[in-house]
Structure 1
Amino acid sequence: MYRLAGLFLSFAVLFAALPADAQDKALTVFAAASMKNALDEIDAAYTAKTGVKITVSYAASSALAKQIEQGAPADVFISADTDWIDYAIGKKTINEPSRVNLLGNSIVLIAPKDSKIDNVNIAAGFDLAKLAGDGRIATGDVKSVPAGKYAKAALEKLGAWQAAEPKFAMAESVRAALTLVARGEAALGIVYATDAKIEPGVKIVGTFPPDSHPAIVYPVAATVTAKPEASGYLAFLRSTAAKTILEKYGFKFLVSPST
């Protein structure tokens, strides 16, 4: 009887340990909202290859950096600009040697797919306010969301910001801005080219010149509390397999891919 009870106890201990073991083979990634479609595909490929489950929290890079600062349990941070990863490094929440400037992107002017606006030449002196008419212009919050910051910088350089500013609808993330345009709730929007590529409800009507705003760079890094598995995941993000997926979605790969 005692031997049988001991056997049951051994099984109980074994099964109790399983969730912890499974949890050890899981990573939590905090990623810029604009990464969602491409990263979901990458994560599925990584899990199939390694068995490591990836859970992703998508939001504006600003929100994610502050959540990590407040102790949110993230293993990897992918930002849509260098400012917010620099912020996180300054707060001692990022493992700085693990940082890689992985991706590039561009910003575009979009309109609802049935809009009469088409083929806008975006250059110095272009009148965005006039183009929007009585409609709103959607982008990420220009004070914090990277896409919004890039948009404001470009419009200031092109001389279009002051007149257009009152017409802006500031969204909590670039994907939220994309949705406003797709639903016809905004006449125009400024988002990443990669966002416009995956949303059938919008069309690209113009592309902002690369020299009109700071270079769009997506850095990736492990957090200081990252599990050991994070290093393998970061390596996979630099792989040829990841490069193929990311370029399919329109991202520019900024590093030499590993095999």
Structure 2
Amino acid sequence: MATRQILAELSRAFQNKTGHMVAIESVGGVDAAKRVRAGETFDIVVLADDVMTQLDADGFLRPGSRAGFAKSAMAVAVGAQANRPDLSNEASLQAAVLAARSIGYSTGPSGTHLLDLLRRWGIEQTVSDRLVKASPGVPVGTLVARGEAELGFQQLSEFLDVPGIAVAGPLPPEVQSTTLFACGVCATASNAAGAHDLIRHLTSAEADASKRRYGMEPA
């Protein structure tokens, strides 16, 4: 889901450039990996690189097709009218978490990182009843907009198109987590040649501006 806006824009550009039609289906990463492993026919897949590495090792990608796509940093969101917490350093972030009535997080890499931070700070049990996990494919920003989470943690790109919220800022550098997303040709691809062409477009320099526009950096 974090890459859906970038992929939509880049696939349109690829279609205009080549005439090849591209249909992108954006779902939660957990579901996407399950569907690839179940043998569904996809030409390409774009997921966090640790998941892609395992899919590659298990034979679900065409050998040698996996390539870095984009790097995504984490951010914190609050309601549009809420006061923005101090996120200038690790101590202030921890204080903001302890002060929050509810904390939204995802099933993806950003959620894993947040839970790791809570354990490292020794406050996992203290805030456990305030944690609100978004369902796969549901942006954490939606929980914040609905008032179900006072603070939301996810990839910056996930917050940019959600009405009713404000991005309080990125995580402080000392606790920031940057996720590398990768793309690859699926072993089940029905149009492997077209998939390779699309991946070359997605990883080319002309795709860099789109990635930055939606809160990511080129891989």
Give the TM bin, normalised by the shorter chain. Answer: 0.7 to 0.9
Contact 1:122–1:206, Cα closer than 8 Å, also in 2 = no
Task: List aligned pairs for 1:61-76, cutoff 5 A.
Answer: 61-76=29-44
Report sequence identity in percent.
21
Aligned to 2:64, the other structure's residue is in SS state helix
Unaligned runs of 5+ in 2: none
Aligned to 1:138, the other structure's residue is in SS state strand
Alpha-carbon deviation of 1:59?
Answer: 1.6
Distance 2:28 2:149 in 1: 20
1:201 and 2:164 matched: yes
Distance 1:115 1:96, change over 3 A: farther
The TM-score, its normalising length taken from structure 2, stands at 0.88
1:94 and 2:61 matched: yes
Instruction: Report what 2:113 is aligned to.
Output: 150
1:247 and 2:212 matched: yes
Where relative contact order (Cα < 8 A, 6+ residues apart) is larger, the structure is: 2
1:172 and 2:135 matched: yes
1:235 and 2:200 matched: yes
Distance 1:148 1:119 in 2: 20
Aligned to 1:184, the other structure's residue is in SS state coil
* Superposed CA offset, 1:182-235 (max 9, x none): 222221110111222232421122422344265411111111122120010000
Aligned to 2:24, the other structure's residue is in SS state strand
Distance 1:205 1:122, change over 3 A: farther
1:39 and 2:11 matched: no
Distance 1:75 1:186, change over 3 A: same
The TM-score, its normalising length taken from structure 1, stands at 0.75
* Superposed CA offset, 1:118-176 (max 9, x none): 3334404723443213xx211112xxx22211222334344443422321111124643
Distance 1:94 1:149 in 2: 25
Aligned to 1:101, the other structure's residue is in SS state strand
Unaligned runs of 5+ in 1: 1-32, 255-259
- Rg (Cα) greater in structure: 1
Larger deviation: 100-109 or 198-207?
Answer: 198-207
Counterpart AA for 2:105:
T
